[in-house]
Amino acid sequence: MTAAQPESGLLAPGWTGSPAARATDDDAYLRALLDAEAALTRAQEAVGAAPEGAGAAVTAAACGDFDVRSLAERARGGGNPVIPLIADLTEAAGVEYGPYVHRGATSQDIMDTATMLVAARTLDPVLADLDRVQRALARLAAEHRDTAMPGRTLTQHAVPTTFGLKAAGWRSLVLDARDRITAVRDSLPAQLGGAAGTAAAFTAYGVEDTTALTTAYARELGLVAPLLPWHTLRTPVADLAACLAFTAGALGKLATDVLTLARTEISEIAEVSAGGGGGSSAMPHKANPVRSTLIAAAARRAPQLAATLYGSLVAEDERPAGAWHAEWEPLRDLLRLVGGAARDAAELTAGLRVDPDRMRSGLGLTHGLIVSERLSAELSGLLGRPRARRLLTELSRRAYAENRPLAELLAQEADLKDVDLDELTDPARYTGSAGALTDRALERR
Active site residues: 280, 319
Give the 3-state DSSP-derived string for the chain, with helices as H, strands as E and coil as C. Answer: CECCCCCCCCCCCCCCCCHHHHHHCHHHHHHHHHHHHHHHHHHHHHCCCCCCCHHHHHHHHHCCCCEHHHHHHHHHHHCCCHHHHHHHHHHHHHHHHHHHCCCCCCHHHHHHHHHHHHHHHHHHHHHHHHHHHHHHHHHHHHHCCCCEEEEEECCEEEEEEEHHHHHHHHHHHHHHHHHHHHHHHCCCECCCCCCCCCCHHHHHCCCCCHHHHHHHHHHHHCCECCCCCCCCCCHHHHHHHHHHHHHHHHHHHHHHHHHHHCCCCCCCEEECCCCCCCCCCCCCCCCCCHHHHHHHHHHHHHHHHHHHHHHCCCCCCCCCCCCCHHHHHHHHHHHHHHHHHHHHHHHHHHCEEECHHHHHHHHCCCCCHHHHHHHHHHHHHHHCHHHHHHHHHHHHHHHHHHCCCHHHHHCCCHHHCCCCHHHHCCHHHCCCCHHHHHHHHHCCC
Q: What are phi and psi of 264, to 5 degrees?
A: -55, -45
Say if residue 422 is exposed, middle or buried (CB neighbours under 10 Å; 0-12, 13-18, 19+): exposed
Cβ proximity of 337 and 305 under 8 Å: yes
How far is Cα 20 from Cα 3, in angstroms, rounded to an integer? 18
Give the 3-state DSSP-derived string for 287-323, with helices as H, strands as E and coil as C. Answer: CCCHHHHHHHHHHHHHHHHHHHHHHCCCCCCCCCCCC
